[in-house]
Structure 1
């Protein structure tokens, strides 16, 4: 087994594409995103095709020289506009197709055919939001049996939200890997988990606080298990957004009146919330950024473009504005992905 050091699970949205663009090449070379196309809506089939083509085209452009996976779990691949559009991207760009054992046979067949045509391989995403069941291994084996043996396959074990309410997630992940790893010669095995909290109200005191990175702890539990495959398992996460964010429609209109700056430390997310309901109120955003930059865990403006943005935003004056929700999502993930790759690289050098 081989593969990238890091697999960030990213939505096919402009802020995530912009975040990857802002990463240093050293960081991008050591990661391979799992891009996920959210629910897409439009007035008619033509508008839907244009919207999908535009969003996926952005991802294909940013991944022009580095491969990644592209998952479309909400797309009906036997219907317009997906029937030709996604197989084109899967077969003619560095975006590898993804399917899973619980999707319709039509989805699995199109993804497997695209993998064979494009030669990039096939990602098999196993979602484990709760406890493991052996039926998943049986369905995965059936999917592998229907896939051309020449197609290289990647195992993407998606634990989804990993929060304090799931204390046995590491054990469930190991049960899953014990059953899935022996099924075939996987090119890559990755454990993906979303550690960012869904609801931060209970974590904040005067709109400042932190949240434990439970997903990080879960991955270390897998690595320390002593399993023969353990050191080959790659780390993946949902960045600085909750796992549930991935399934939201791109235009669902669910806008919070609050803004949120996030910053990743060794074991936690720093959280700074502020009222953003009124345009032009930059002072509260700068105050939130200042709280982050004054933390002993702040790594300095030279650490990444995200860290630089926090430093510049924290200044009491400046010609630049303080951005919007897309900006805050972007810079949060830039500093997060840069830091994760650096930590994983240091771990790799020690082992």
Structure 2
């Protein structure tokens, strides 16, 4: 098996797990995703929110939903490595226990916890890690530059849970970034303080620059959004050339850093979806309607957007991956067949992005 070089943060949703399963095998073996279970119901979760352990309002429904998610993720990962963050569901222990046990025992994923989480839930995750024998990950949310107290909290967590650094992964997560230079300072401080605090098995640096678009007024026909997450990695490598090869490249693929905080059960979204494509320094985003317009007009606009993407300088040609083949076929096609839907567009977006990042890392260009 090839050694992973890329750690995208992916929500446990159909578009993401189908994209991972659809990757070329040589690409997929270089990827170790951080899978994040989305909340089952309720409001959108705040980043870093750590509810106390509680009985789910409907543990039977949560168990049924989570077990189904577990089966899909086990099938998609096919024994390949990665991490699992269950922060949004683990507090409902009565409803999540069986599904998490099923997922951790039937996959090769490592469970994740964090220093800000409730001690009972930290122990819950550590017990699962102990039973699987694969160790675990510590995900540190870096919304501000780290300090000595945070380092002490992380090392104290290791001691309290009985974890040894050689069997523990450190995931440094800067979340949504809009300024590579400023975020780079935080990343460097985290590497100097937390990364150097122990002999970690793996150190992952991840962030996301994909924009969050709330309504149709945020987006014209095509939007170019700068890849600040890539710029952050470039800044870190330039400042610390010795970390090359010891630091795993991470991002949020082609979803916003808060996308996994949105619950599975939610109200209807906007009457449009996004077609997306990754250029070396930017994301190409195109808004296309999903309802409230004539069906023929919707299909025409989807194909027109696909033609914009394949006609751009960034397009890598239909032979690059299954995603490029789909986009080219969509651009060249007629009628409704092959025009896709929001689930298709996000799957295609993930496939082309992850393929592009892995090949860029192998070529030394990412």
Taking structure 2 as the reference length, the TM-score comes to 0.88
Q: Distance in 2 between matches of 1:31 and 1:124?
A: 19
* Residue 83 of structure 1: how far off its partner (Å): 2.9
- Paired residues, number: 346
In structure 2, the residue matched to 1:11 is: 11
**Structure 1 spans left out of the alignment, 5+ residues:** none
In structure 2, the residue matched to 1:337 is: 354
In structure 2, the residue matched to 1:187 is: 201
Contact 1:123/1:153 (8 A) holds in 2: yes
Contact 2:146/2:193 (8 A) holds in 1: no
* Residue 64 of structure 1: how far off its partner (Å): 2.1
Q: Which of 152, 161, 164 lines up with 2:167 in the alignment?
A: 152
In structure 1, the residue matched to 2:176 is: 161
* Residue 61 of structure 1: how far off its partner (Å): 1.4
In structure 2, the residue matched to 1:115 is: 129
Moved more, 177-186 or 225-234: 225-234
Instruction: Summarize deviations over 1:60-115 as a string: whole Å, max 9, x none.
Output: 11112211111111223572122343134224421211101111111211222222
**Structure 2 spans left out of the alignment, 5+ residues:** 42-55
Q: Distance in 1 between matches of 2:90 and 2:240?
A: 41
Contact 1:196/1:243 (8 A) holds in 2: yes
Q: Which of 228, 234, 240 lines up with 1:220 in the alignment?
A: 234
* Residue 323 of structure 1: how far off its partner (Å): 1.6
In structure 2, the residue matched to 1:199 is: 213
* Residue 151 of structure 1: how far off its partner (Å): 6.7
Q: Which of 114, 138, 150 lines up with 1:100 in the alignment?
A: 114
In structure 1, the residue matched to 2:143 is: 129
Q: Distance in 2 between matches of 1:194 and 1:254?
A: 25
In structure 2, the residue matched to 1:287 is: 304
Paired residue secondary structure (2:360): helix
Q: Distance in 2 between matches of 1:117 and 1:150?
A: 17
- Root mean square deviation, CA, Å: 2.3
In structure 1, the residue matched to 2:20 is: 20
Q: Distance in 2 between matches of 1:232 and 1:144?
A: 21
Distance 1:227 1:175, change over 3 A: farther
Q: Which of 266, 274, 285 lines up with 2:288 in the alignment?
A: 274
Taking structure 1 as the reference length, the TM-score comes to 0.92
* Residue 229 of structure 1: how far off its partner (Å): 3.4
In structure 2, the residue matched to 1:247 is: 261
Distance 1:277 1:92, change over 3 A: closer
Contact 1:9/1:236 (8 A) holds in 2: yes
Distance 1:202 1:128, change over 3 A: farther
Q: Which of 319, 324, 328 lines up with 1:311 in the alignment?
A: 328
Written as runs of structure 1 = structure 2, the 5 A alignment for 1:46-125 is 46-77=60-91, 79-125=93-139
Paired residue secondary structure (2:94): coil
Q: Distance in 2 between matches of 1:24 and 1:344?
A: 16
Distance 1:65 1:90, change over 3 A: closer
